[in-house]
Amino acid sequence: MAETSPLQPVLSPREWAFIARLLRSEQDKLLHELNHTSTRAFRETLHAQLEIAESLIARIPDVEE
């Protein structure tokens, strides 16, 4: 189980938007890679990473740049 750090950074709305954009870009790359991967072990790794990215995206506050 992940522990939360007592020193979590405080981010501005602009910084949250940037992080969300990075995560969505990574999500797109992972989806593309999943569609072009035939190795089961690698697919499972990519799928686990995709789940993490989607979980983080869902937890980021909705912000507009």
With respect to residue 2, please indicate whether it lies within any of the assigned structural domains: no
With respect to residue 7, please indicate whether it lies within any of the assigned structural domains: no
With respect to residue 4, please indicate whether it lies within any of the assigned structural domains: no
pLDDT at 4: 63
Could you tell me the sign of the dihedral formed by the alpha carbons of 27, 33, 36, 40, in that order? negative
pLDDT at 63: 63
Give the whole-angstrom CA distance, residue 10 versus residue 41: 37
Q: Which domain holds residue 40?
A: 13-59
- 3-class SS at 63? coil
Give the whole-angstrom CA distance, residue 56 versus residue 22: 11
With respect to residue 64, please indicate whether it lies within any of the assigned structural domains: no
Q: Token digits for 46?
A: 């990519």
pLDDT at 64: 60
- One pLDDT digit (tens) per residue for the chain, 65 residues: 466 667 778 889 999 999 999 999 999 999 999 999 989 999 999 999 999 999 999 988 776 65
pTM > 0.85: yes or no: no
